[in-house]
Structure 1
Amino acid sequence: MRSAIIFHGTGGNPGVAWYPWLAARLRQRGYEVEVPHYPGLNVEPITSFLPKVLAAHRFGDDTVLIGHSGGAALLPALLEHVTARQAILVAGYCTRPNTSDEPVLKDAYDWAAIRAHAREFCFINSRVDPYGCDEHQGRALFEHLGGTQIVRDDGHFGDYDQAYDEFPLLDRLIA
């Protein structure tokens, strides 16, 4: 069965931004969808946080992984260990995008393993991201992993001061 896991951003939860909307759209299309709540995301060091995520979900060739911000930054570490059909990183990053601590990031990644564990990568970033999760961060991920990079002028694609209740582009991108 086709499945999707939507990982919220730092300080987020499954009920904010476009997460509920996308989950409902994917369920209508026959996906089994998870939108887990991880309060420790980008708070707890990746070395102790990642094993919890790996143990909590099933991954496979029919899985779509979608991450937003800190949830997108989690995906490279996750894909060093699991396979997925598609990985979509919204406002993703692989190096510190600003001066904040980023416990979700690893010091180094096995980019070859990550590339081998997903058939398709898509990076959606904004030129006007207030946290620095901008097109340069998306480009760095694209250069490591290939795939498709989409650059928009849409802020952080949802935040405490940016309503972003629907994200039709994501619905169209998911195979």
Structure 2
Amino acid sequence: MLISKPGDLGGAYPSREILADRKKLTIDEEEEKAQKLEAEKQKKDDEIKENEAESRKKDAELKEKEGELRNKEDQKVAEIQKQKDEIRKLQAEIRKLKPEIRKLKTEIPRLKDAIPKLKAEIENHLAEVIKQQDEFASYKAEFAGYEARFEAKFKPFEDQKRQEAESSKAAAGEQSVGENHNIS
């Protein structure tokens, strides 16, 4: 209902009830807006917290990956250092061997030149060995001939000596048996 003046019932001004309703409606709308804003704020806060948690998680993952990378770098550096040490060691060994190699390089041609001479000497020695083997076989055959002649000449003499020795032993044995009978 509209009132023209305050306190007048038939005017152009809205009534107190209408104003109160409007005020209540405005307050309700404002409260609803405030609640929506509060809900949006809470939602944004939750998103921020979620984003912060995700950010912390990503930071932790990043730090972990950085740690792994540092470890891998340290391992690679250690491996490289080990290889450098090995290279230095091998280079030192090469430096030590170079004089020996030079010495061998000069000695190899001399040794190659000596090979034919040594082969000739070996052949000469082999010929000498074969000659000595032939001489030995000849001496062995000659000795076998002497041995056969010795056996033929002296075997009967040895047999005769052995028989005489056995006879004298037998005679000595009979004599001692006879003496034993005389004593008793």
Richer in helix (by share): 2
TM normalised by structure 1 equals 0.10
TM normalised by structure 2 equals 0.09
Richer in strand (by share): 1
